């Protein structure tokens, strides 16, 4: 026979657990107690606005004090206060939240309070062996009361001689929590969690916070100077940001904040502590990856939303429908802002591309919805430092850079100096070269190839000048087939024994390079991508680099070599030519050395 019953929870058992494990970080206690003081003050403002609280509000500053000799910490507010009955209801009943009750009652009057769970007050016992609460209600005729508890389930309530309205919480610090009996430590916590609380917080006779941060104002009321000044307030040693997005949403969720675009340039360091999350102006965390898409970690700024679900400690985010909606909304707002600048001022957008290009490319790679918007304003930069959208560039080079299979071939360089000789060669053919030297460009190119049909990408050093865009045009060689074969076999005999170099002959223009060392595109890409991803099984990375060496059979050196009989003189000439060609193309020494080497090759001929 089945039986039913009720689970019994004994407070004497659960209270020590709450004291020890309520928060993962003990310093949170100060945030919770100050937040309670802010709530009490905000409630008083609401009641005063509705006429329920009579008289002048006066100075509503919250004061935090450290008494080192007494080993006590004091949090004092001049807010709503409590009667003895309310102390019994809200303090003595664990997890009975006065904030929740107040919000429900005054939700139509715009009440804004922080706490919702009713457990924050008990965080005091994580650091205190005894807690005193002295309070006097705003209600006329109220008597001040004092509540005392030593961390057990027993407490004492008595009358107090407190005259002013409000509440003072006194923490008698435990021996293992003396780190909080230090003004510097307390100030650092207040700076971290209370910097933008909506009520002034006084410590050491100085107000520490900005109760009206810029994100709480309407975007139309904010100036460029104010946005830049607020950025400096958040990040004192940073350069002026490029631009910003002011978030201001009331429905279907509440979200405010300002996201700044810093000057990123050609870097990729998605820092995870530059966007700060607040709930009603209380700092919650700077780990916002559940709310903000990964690629937006490159941004700086603040997000404030009471609708983001938090656990009891307000320290860790829990995923739910609102978080996903906010994530999508932020992505959309970022795309909107970029597209707006692109359409309204193309010159300004071009000028800022060096800083925002990495960010946009990262977003296009990682977020499909962002890609759908961004591919319209994503820019490509060529060697001449002109900027084009992807479609604009396809139109620019389509007539000259279409291969025999009707594919538009986009040529690019990731090092304009090292690949100078290759760039010169393709430019002689009338081709254009893109500058793709960003840390993400390898992934970005692969991503675009999958999105755009009829387009292929080739690095300028991935094939000989006539094969890199194969138009199926064949040049005649001045050498006979036998002479061409003999030159190739001679080179293979001398240099191909380790398998690193594979030789082939090709009839190129006489003024093209005698030897061209090219690396297969697919192999190079795999190695580069594997290196960036840090894959454990580095299959390609462990293989030595291999090159195809194209011998230009119309070059004067080829003609000269074909006429020299086999012997030491011929081998010596080949070695000189080969070493000079490797220097020219692989030592990254710049244009002047390349020209010097080419002159020496010409002299050999």
Same domain, 157 and 26: yes
* Residue 85 belongs to a domain: yes
Same domain, 78 and 152: yes
Q: Is the pLDDT of residue 144 over 80?
A: yes
Distance CA 234, CA 220 (A): 21
* Residue 436 belongs to a domain: yes
Same domain, 294 and 197: no
pTM for the model stands at 0.75
Among 344, 367, 396, the domain-final residue is 344
Average pLDDT, the chain: 82
Pairwise pLDDT comparison (497 vs 426), residue with the higher score: 426
* Residue 367 belongs to a domain: no
* Residue 470 belongs to a domain: no
Same domain, 75 and 133: yes
| Strand bridging mode 62-67 / 201-203 | parallel
Burial 488-526 (b: 16+ CB within 10 A, else e): bebbeeebeeeeebebbbbbbeeebbbbbbbbebeebbb
Token pair recorded at residue 218: 């309407």
pLDDT band at 353 (very low <50, low <70, confident <90, very high): very high
Average pLDDT of the segment spanning 374-399: 95
What is the CATH number for 251? 3.30.230.80
Question: According to the model, what pLDDT value does residue 512 have?
Answer: 79
Q: Is the pLDDT of residue 497 over 90?
A: no
* Residue 305 belongs to a domain: yes
Q: Is the pLDDT of residue 9 over 50?
A: no
Let me know: does 98 contact 114? Beta carbons within 8 Å.
no
Average pLDDT of the segment spanning 230-238: 92
Low-confidence winner among 58-67, 82-91, 272-281, 452-461 (lowest mean pLDDT): 272-281
Among 459, 489, 522, the domain-final residue is 459
Distance CA 76, CA 64 (A): 6
- Dump pLDDT digits (tens) for 435-483: 999 888 888 998 888 888 889 999 998 888 888 898 887 778 888 888 8
Distance CA 524, CA 527 (A): 5
Same domain, 34 and 144: yes
Q: Is 2 exposed, middle or buried (0-12, 13-18, 19+ CB in 10 A)?
A: exposed
Chain-centroid distance, C-alpha 197: 25
Distance CA 39, CA 36 (A): 5
- Dump pLDDT digits (tens) for 446-456: 888 888 888 99
Which of 561, 454, 446, 451 has the alpha carbon at shortest distance from 503?
Answer: 561
Same domain, 190 and 284: no
Could you give the maximum distance between any two Cα atoms of the chain, in Å? Answer: 119
Pairwise pLDDT comparison (41 vs 292), residue with the higher score: 41
Pairwise pLDDT comparison (407 vs 493), residue with the higher score: 407
* Residue 352 belongs to a domain: no
Same domain, 140 and 288: no
> Which structural domain, as residue segments, surrounds residue 583?
481-604
Average pLDDT of the segment spanning 186-201: 95
Burial 301-337 (b: 16+ CB within 10 A, else e): bbbbbbebebebbbeebeeeebbeebbeebbebbbeb
C-alpha count within 13 angstroms, C-beta hemisphere, residue 198: 20
Chain-centroid distance, C-alpha 7: 47
**How many Cβ atoms sit within 10 Å of the Cβ of residue 4?**
4
Among 148, 172, 207, the domain-final residue is 207
Q: Is the pLDDT of residue 22 over 80?
A: no
- Dump pLDDT digits (tens) for 120-130: 788 898 899 99
- How many domains are contained in the chain? 4
Question: According to the model, what pLDDT value does residue 208 have?
Answer: 95
Token pair recorded at residue 303: 């997000």
Question: According to the model, what pLDDT value does residue 265 have?
Answer: 62
**How many Cβ atoms sit within 10 Å of the Cβ of residue 102?**
20
Question: According to the model, what pLDDT value does residue 325 have?
Answer: 83
Which residue in the block uniquely carries the two structure tokens 């709450």? 18
**How many Cβ atoms sit within 10 Å of the Cβ of residue 191?**
14
DSSP string, 301-363: EEEE-TTS-B-TTS-SB---HHHHHHHHHHHHHHHHHHHHHHHH-HHHHHHHHHHHHHHHHHH
Distance CA 159, CA 144 (A): 6
**Preceding omega of 252 cis (within 30 degrees of 0):** yes
What is the CATH number for 102? 3.30.565.10
Distance CA 469, CA 477 (A): 20
What is the CATH number for 384? 3.40.50
Same domain, 279 and 223: yes
Which of 504, 508, 423, 506 has the alpha carbon at shortest distance from 458?
Answer: 423
Same domain, 424 and 553: no
Q: Is the pLDDT of residue 585 over 50?
A: yes
DSSP string, 473-532: --PPPSS-HHHHHHHHHHHHHHH-TTSSEEEEEE---TTS-SEEEE--HHHHHHHHHHHH
DSSP string, 231-271: HHHHSTTSPPPSEEEEEEE-SSS-EEEEEEE----S-----
Low-confidence winner among 251-255, 320-324, 508-512 (lowest mean pLDDT): 320-324
Same domain, 250 and 169: no
Question: According to the model, what pLDDT value does residue 91 have?
Answer: 84
* Residue 414 belongs to a domain: yes
Question: What is the SS3 assignment for 548?
Answer: strand
* Residue 167 belongs to a domain: yes
pLDDT band at 315 (very low <50, low <70, confident <90, very high): very low
Question: According to the model, what pLDDT value does residue 74 have?
Answer: 98
Same domain, 306 and 201: no
Distance CA 391, CA 402 (A): 15
pLDDT band at 115 (very low <50, low <70, confident <90, very high): very low
Token pair recorded at residue 177: 């929590």
H/E stretch holding 445 reads helix 441-451
Same domain, 502 and 598: yes
């Amino acid at each position: 026979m089945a039986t039913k019953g009720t689970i019994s929870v004994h407070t004497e058992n659960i209270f020590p657990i709450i004291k020890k494990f309520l928060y993962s970080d003990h310093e949170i206690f100060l945030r919770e107690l100050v937040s309670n003081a802010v709530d009490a003050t905000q409630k008083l403002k609401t009641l005063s606005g509705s006429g329920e609280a009579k008289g002048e509000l006066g100075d509503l500053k919250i004061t935090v004090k450290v008494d080192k000799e007494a080993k006590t910490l004091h949090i004092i507010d001049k807010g709503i206060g409590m009667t003895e009955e309310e102390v019994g209801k809200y303090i003595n009943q664990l997890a009975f939240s006065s904030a929740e009750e107040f919000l429900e009652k005054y939700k139509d009057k715009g009440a804004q309070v922080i706490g919702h769970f009713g457990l924050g007050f008990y965080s005091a016992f994580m650091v205190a062996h005894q807690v005193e609460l002295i309070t006097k209600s705003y209600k006329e005729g109220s008597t001040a009361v004092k509540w005392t508890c030593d961390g057990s389930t027993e407490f004492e309530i008595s009358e107090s001689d407190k005259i002013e309205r409000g509440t003072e919480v006194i923490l008698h610090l435990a021996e293992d929590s003396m780190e909080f009996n230090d003004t510097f430590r307390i100030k650092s916590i207040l700076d971290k969690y209370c910097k933008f609380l909506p009520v002034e917080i006084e410590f050491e006779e100085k107000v520490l916070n900005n109760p009206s941060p810029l994100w709480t104002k309407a975007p139309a009321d904010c100036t460029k100077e104010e946005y830049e000044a607020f950025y400096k307030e958040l990040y004192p040693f940073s350069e002026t940001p490029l631009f910003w997005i002011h978030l201001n949403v009331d429905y279907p969720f509440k979200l405010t904040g300002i996201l700044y675009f810093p000057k990123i340039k050609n870097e990729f360091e998605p820092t995870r502590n530059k966007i700060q999350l607040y709930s009603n102006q209380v700092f919650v965390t700077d780990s916002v990856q559940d709310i903000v898409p990964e690629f937006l970690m490159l941004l700086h700024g603040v997000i404030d939303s009471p609708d983001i679900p938090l656990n009891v400690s307000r320290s860790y985010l829990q995923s739910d429908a609102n978080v996903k909606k906010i994530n999508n909304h932020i992505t959309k707002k970022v795309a909107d802002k970029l597209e707006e600048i692109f359409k309204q001022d193309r010159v300004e957008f071009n000028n800022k591309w060096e800083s925002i290009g990495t960010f946009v490319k990262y977003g296009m790679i990682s977020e499909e919805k962002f890609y759908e918007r961004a591919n319209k304003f994503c820019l490509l930069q060529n060697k001449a430092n002109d900027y084009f959208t992807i479609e604009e560039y396809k139109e620019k080079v389509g007539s000259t850079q279409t291969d025999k299979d009707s594919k538009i071939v986009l040529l690019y360089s990731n090092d304009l100096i090292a690949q100078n000789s290759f760039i010169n060669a393709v430019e002689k053919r009338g081709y254009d070269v893109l500058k793709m030297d960003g840390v993400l460009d390898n992934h970005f190119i692969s991503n675009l190839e999958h999105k755009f049909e009829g387009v292929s990408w080739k690095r300028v050093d991935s094939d000989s000048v006539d094969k890199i865009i194969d138009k199926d045009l064949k040049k005649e060689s001045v050498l006979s087939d036998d002479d061409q074969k003999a030159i190739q076999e001679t080179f293979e005999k001398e240099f191909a024994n380790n398998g690193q170099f594979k030789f082939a002959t090709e009839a190129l223009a006489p003024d093209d390079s005698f030897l061209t060392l090219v690396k297969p595109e697919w192999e190079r890409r795999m190695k580069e991508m594997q290196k960036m991803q840090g894959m454990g099984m580095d299959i390609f990375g462990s293989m030595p680099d291999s090159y195809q060496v194209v011998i230009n059979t119309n070059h004067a050196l080829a003609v000269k070599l074909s006429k020299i009989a086999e012997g030491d003189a011929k081998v010596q000439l080949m070695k000189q030519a080969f070493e000079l060609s490797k220097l020219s193309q692989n030592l990254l020494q710049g244009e002047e050395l390349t020209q010097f080497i080419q002159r020496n090759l010409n002299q050999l001929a």
